[in-house]
Amino acid sequence: MGKVKLMQGNEACVEGALYAGCRFYAGYPITPSTEIAEGCAVRLPQVGGHFIQMEDEIASCAAAIGASAAGVKSMTATSGPGFSLKQENLGYACLTEIPFVLVDVPRAGPSTGLPTSPSQGDVMQAKWGTHGDHPMIAIAPSTVEECFKLCVRCFNLSEKYRTPVIFLMDEIVGHLREGIEIPEEGELEIVNRAIPEDPAHAKKPYATKEGSTVPVMAPFGAGERYNITGLIHADDGFPTNSTEIADKQVRRLLAKIDDNLDDILSWEETSMDDAEVCVVCFGGTARSVQSAVETLRAEGVKVGMFRPITVWPFPAKKMREIAGKVKKIIVAEHNDGQMLLEVQRVTGLYDKIGFVGKVNGTVITPDEIVKAVKEG
Amino acid sequence: MPSKLVDKYLREAHLPHIWCPGCGHGVLMRDVAQAVDNIGLDRNKVVLVSGIGCSSRAAGYMDFNTMHTTHGRALAFATGIKMARPDLEVICIMGDGDASAIGGNHLIHAARRNIGITAIVFNNDIYGMTGGQYSPTTPYGEKGTTAPYGNIDRPFDIAKIAQACGATYTARGTAYDAVLTTKLIEDGIRHKGFSVIECASICPTYYGRKNKKGSAVDMYTWQKENSIRVEKAQAMSPEELKGKLVVGKLSEDDFPELTEQYQAIIDRVRK
């Protein structure tokens, strides 16, 4: 059993990143994610890694991707306004297949919004913020312990599929302090990207082996001397205008995620076995929902919680399965109904889905959930 | 006729290049290859990072670890590479709009940090890839497709900006003077801190036509006749230097390089 420590979600994210093997962080100060930069500034040199505060959010995203291209696991963190700025190079990492973890601790928005208040208004931006069709994985923690463990998972998925992963935290978990058990070395699985056996003789960095959709690439400096470009490129890494290759490349990028849903998707179900009402939520909102479910269960109301941990790709099949069993679905989130849109879309149920949402920077209370469930 | 440099440093399968006849970028790319060859760098340890634009296509043609990034961001990507892997030799090739407009913030901060990256700016005073719009270095009064009545912005002096922001090596060469420019790039790579080599290129297709500068040969001749060595320029008045290209090593200062300073921190705090 590891050491038990009292820490904040943002701090746990830093420790999780180090545990996963992250040795580079580039960032820019922004509330409510700043503690992640501060933590990395202290901790990274202690483990031989590098921290740099860049001139802006765009540059921090670029630097994190650059470090990863050179073979070093990397991370950057931000909040809403900075998340908007990072979208440019997030798309670059998708197309060039350079793994890294982008942490977003949203604030209430839009624009500069309410910098210190909780929000979950970046759900759709996490999936669709960067232009063009692209793969995206986003993972949302709801406890400080998950800020650690799921950060490790973000790195693992990123390395395995050579794609950026968004760690979609929120101010509730980011600034929450809880006791967590720090896993011992070796307790959690650590995935490192596959590299060619003989980099000096590797010819096509973006070629994939039979049965796989993920290329095997060497880090810069290992002798492969290939080209990386944000233009549509062939297996050799060089730009092409071939419509056939463009189609093949974009579809392969999407298939990396779509063909591996069993591995990528994760969720939590609470009291769902006999539930007639299902409250769907994610991240910090789950804390209020969990409390409401306990209260309602004590009163004999058959209610449960479904919490997608992998927010993108959305666990559509599981959501449909639940929709087929329960009488009522209520979505609770700190925005005006972003995950609600996805739940409506995948279930085909529109007006029948209840909604509890907030956009004023305050937290949805357990009472508000209780009330929504009772009112049906 | 292919030279030994072409055999060694260019990816022939990806030639011919996309540059227009007469463009100065090909000469400058050759200067970069010659400089790397003169130093004898291990190609496996050289990372060439570029942004977006005509100049940035050089990365794809050269046989190093090459990264063609997003517009203006070459130095930001390069900073991540150099910081994470100080053992790699990181060189950036950028255009004038790339380095000093959309990437201006990254340029001044890379200079401020004095990170060991060599920034080579292929400055043709125009956005060529998009068809001839005026850039931050287009001379006052000159025309571009977006300055049809003449440019009313004052141009940047990229080398001077870099020096003012802390770059510890700055120089200016020209596409015309390959011998000098190669030497300046070579010295810039050998220099430990952040070095900026502004290379005056020519764009006969857009800048030249729009501003009636004649043929590519005329434009190279102009560079030849209007280049003044920095040593000679020191004795000349601002009036005499108006419209001239001051070439040579413009500045060299001594300040600790960023990644070496960070290594000292690691050595101090490592558990």
Cβ within 8 Å, pair B85-A74: no
Half-sphere exposure of A63 (CA within 13 A, CB side): 32
Q: How many Cβ pairs closer than 8 A exist between chain A and B?
A: 141
The distance of A121 to chain B (nearest Cα, Å) reads 27
For residue A218, give the chain B residue with the closest CA: B65
> Hey, which residues does B23 pair with through a beta bridge?
none
pLDDT value at position A1? 65
The distance of A150 to chain B (nearest Cα, Å) reads 24
Q: Which of A229, A232, A257, A55 is nearest to A165 (CA)?
A: A257
Q: Does B166 lie at the interface with A, CB-CB under 8 angstroms?
A: no
CATH 3.40.50.970 assigned to domain A1-194+202-264? The reply is yes
With a CB cutoff of 8 Å and minimum separation 6, the contacts of A164 are: A90, A93, A94, A98, A99, A100, A101, A102, A136, A137, A158
The distance of B19 to chain A (nearest Cα, Å) reads 15
Query: Greatest CA span in chain A, whole angstroms?
Result: 68
Question: What's the rounded Cα separation, in Å, for the pair A169 and A103?
Answer: 7
The distance of B264 to chain A (nearest Cα, Å) reads 10
Give the CA distances from residue B79 to residues A59, A165, A322, in Å, rounded to whole numbers and listed in that order: 9, 22, 48
Q: Which of A326, A315, A321 is nearest to A352 (CA)?
A: A326
- Would you list the domain boundaries of chain A? 1-194+202-264, 267-375
Question: What's the rounded Cα separation, in Å, for the pair B233 and B247?
Answer: 9
Contacts of A75 in chain B (CB under 8 A): none
Q: Kindly tell me the burial class for residue A146, based on how many C-beta atoms sit within 10 Å of its own C-beta (0-12, 13-18, 19 or more).
A: buried
Cα dihedral sign for B12, B16, B19, B25?
A: positive
CATH architecture of B4-269: 3-Layer(aba) Sandwich (3.40)
- Point out the residue among A88, A225, A231 whose CB comes nearest to the CB of B63: A225
Cβ within 8 Å, pair A229-B109: no
Q: What is the CA radius of gyration of chain B?
A: 18
The distance of A135 to chain B (nearest Cα, Å) reads 19
Question: What's the rounded Cα separation, in Å, for the pair A98 and A63?
Answer: 12
CATH 3.40.50.970 assigned to domain A267-375? The reply is no
With a CB cutoff of 8 Å and minimum separation 6, the contacts of A356 are: A330, A331, A332, A333, A364, A368, A369, A372
Pick from A98, A229, A241 the residue to mutate for testing the B interface (most B CBs within 10 Å). Answer: A229
Residue B33 identity: A
Q: Does A136 lie at the interface with B, CB-CB under 8 angstroms?
A: no
Beta-carbon count within 10 A of A151 CB: 30
> Hey, which residues does A268 pair with through a beta bridge?
A307
The answer to whether B224 and B176 are in contact (CB under 8 A) is yes
One DSSP character per residue, B133-197 reads EE-TTSPTT--BTTBTT---SPPP-HHHHHHHTT-SEEEEEESS-HHHHHHHHHHHHHSSS-EEE
A221-244: burial string, b at 16+ Cβ within 10 Å, e else = bbbbbbbbbbebbbbbbbbbeeee
Q: Which two tokens stand for residue B91?
A: 């060189």
Per-residue pLDDT of chain B (271 residues; tens, 9 = 90+): 457 898 999 999 999 999 999 999 999 999 999 999 999 999 999 999 999 999 999 999 999 999 999 999 999 999 999 999 999 999 999 999 999 999 999 999 999 999 999 999 999 999 999 999 999 999 999 999 999 999 999 999 999 999 999 999 999 999 999 999 999 999 999 999 999 999 999 999 999 999 999 999 999 999 999 999 999 999 999 999 999 999 999 999 999 999 999 999 999 999 7
With a CB cutoff of 8 Å and minimum separation 6, the contacts of A116 are: A31, A32, A107, A171
Cβ within 8 Å, pair A23-B84: yes
The dihedrals phi and psi of B217, each to the nearest 5 degrees, come to -60, -40
Q: Kindly tell me the burial class for residue A185, based on how many C-beta atoms sit within 10 Å of its own C-beta (0-12, 13-18, 19 or more).
A: exposed
pLDDT value at position A200? 86
A20-56: burial string, b at 16+ Cβ within 10 Å, e else = bbbbbbbbbebbbbbbbbbbbeebbbeeebbbbbbbb
Strands A227-229, A137-139: pairing is unpaired
- Would you list the domain boundaries of chain B? 4-269
The distance of B258 to chain A (nearest Cα, Å) reads 10
Contacts of B105 in chain A (CB under 8 A): 55-56, 59
Contacts of B67 in chain A (CB under 8 A): 66, 69, 220, 227-229
Pick from A130, A228, A231, A235 the residue to mutate for testing the B interface (most B CBs within 10 Å). Answer: A228
Question: What's the rounded Cα separation, in Å, for the pair B98 and A234?
Answer: 25
The distance of B89 to chain A (nearest Cα, Å) reads 9
Q: Does A133 lie at the interface with B, CB-CB under 8 angstroms?
A: no
Q: Does B47 lie at the interface with A, CB-CB under 8 angstroms?
A: yes
Give the CA distances from residue A360 to residues A233, A285, A366, in Å, rounded to whole numbers and listed in that order: 45, 14, 17
Domains A1-194+202-264 and A267-375 share a fold: yes
Contacts of A60 in chain B (CB under 8 A): 76
Q: Does B244 lie at the interface with A, CB-CB under 8 angstroms?
A: no
Cβ within 8 Å, pair B83-A67: yes
Q: Which two tokens stand for residue A249?
A: 């490349």
The distance of B50 to chain A (nearest Cα, Å) reads 10
Q: Which of A174, A180, A192 is nearest to A20 (CA)?
A: A192
With a CB cutoff of 8 Å and minimum separation 6, the contacts of A46 are: B269, B270, B271
Contacts of A226 in chain B (CB under 8 A): 65-66
The answer to whether B81 and B88 are in contact (CB under 8 A) is yes
Question: What's the rounded Cα separation, in Å, for the pair B177 and B198?
Answer: 13
First to last CA, chain A: 44
Half-sphere exposure of A294 (CA within 13 A, CB side): 7
Per-residue pLDDT of chain A (376 residues; tens, 9 = 90+): 689 999 999 999 999 999 999 999 999 999 999 999 999 999 999 999 999 999 999 999 999 999 999 999 999 999 999 999 999 999 999 999 999 999 999 998 899 999 999 999 999 999 999 999 999 999 999 999 999 999 999 999 999 999 999 999 999 999 999 999 999 999 999 999 999 999 888 889 999 999 999 999 999 999 999 999 999 999 999 999 999 999 999 999 999 999 999 999 999 999 999 999 999 999 999 999 999 999 999 999 999 999 999 999 999 999 999 999 999 999 999 999 999 999 999 999 998 899 999 999 999 999 999 999 999 7
pLDDT value at position B2? 56
- Point out the residue among B14, B45, B83 whose CB comes nearest to the CB of A50: B83
For residue B68, give the chain A residue with the closest CA: A229
- Give the CA-trace dihedral at A357, A361, A367, A371, to 10 degrees: -30
- Point out the residue among B69, B88, B262 whose CB comes nearest to the CB of A70: B88
Q: Does A23 lie at the interface with B, CB-CB under 8 angstroms?
A: yes
Q: Does B79 lie at the interface with A, CB-CB under 8 angstroms?
A: yes
Residue A329 identity: I
Give the CA distances from residue B257 to residues A48, B85, B87, B113, B167, in Å, rounded to whole numbers and listed in that order: 18, 14, 13, 8, 10
Question: What's the rounded Cα separation, in Å, for the pair A101 and A229?
Answer: 20
For residue B259, give the chain A residue with the closest CA: A50
Question: SS3 sequence, chain A?
Answer: CCCEEEEEHHHHHHHHHHHHCCCEEEECCCCCCHHHHHHHHHHHHHCCCEEEECCCHHHHHHHHHHHHHCCCCEEEEECHHHHHHHHHHHHHHHHHCCCCEEEECCCECCCCCECCCCCCCCHHHHHHCCCCCCCCEEECCCCHHHHHHHHHHHHHHHHHHCCCEEEECCHHHHCCEEEEECCCCCCCCCCCCCCCCCHHHCCCCCCCCCCCCCCCCCCCCCCCCCEEECCCECCCCCECCCHHHHHHHHHHHHHHHHCCHHHHCCEEEECCCCCCEEEECCCCHHHHHHHHHHHHHHCCCCEEEEEECEEECCCHHHHHHHHHHCCEEEEEECCCCHHHHHHHHHHCCCCCEEEEECCCCCCCCHHHHHHHHHHC
pLDDT value at position B216? 98
